[in-house]
Amino acid sequence: MKTDVYSWRLDSELKTSLEEVARSRGSSLARLLDEIARDWLGREIRDEDDEAAQRRLHAKARKAFGTLERGDEHLAEQAGPRVREKLRQRHAARRAG
């Protein structure tokens, strides 16, 4: 049950376009605007969740930054295997300790 009313001014072309879309869907303009607002809000919440996940991943990755030796011209090509080896060594040390 909707209980709140909100109004704002729209450009007349935008309002006409929204009314046309609502009509083509067999819906009211109010229902279309409600759908648009809910869709936008859902994306905003997902984007925030994605950003939080990215921050966590970056924080974990930062721990490994700078751990590879420099001076190797093939460093980029060997980064994956070197990182895996460092992780294997770290896990082995944890198990042993």
Q: What is the pLDDT of residues 58-89, one digit of tens each?
A: 887 777 676 555 666 676 777 788 888 888 88
Q: What is the pLDDT of residues 26-49, one digit of tens each?
A: 999 999 999 999 998 888 777 777
CA angle 69, 74, 80 (to 5 degrees): 70
Q: For the chain, what are the domain ranges?
A: 8-63, 69-97
Question: Which residues are within 8 A (CB) of 18 and not within 5 positions of it... i.e. 6 or more apart?
Answer: 10, 29, 32, 33
The span from the CA of 71 to the CA of 34, in Å, is 59
CA distances to 7, 21, 34, 40, 85 from 37, in Å: 14, 15, 5, 5, 49
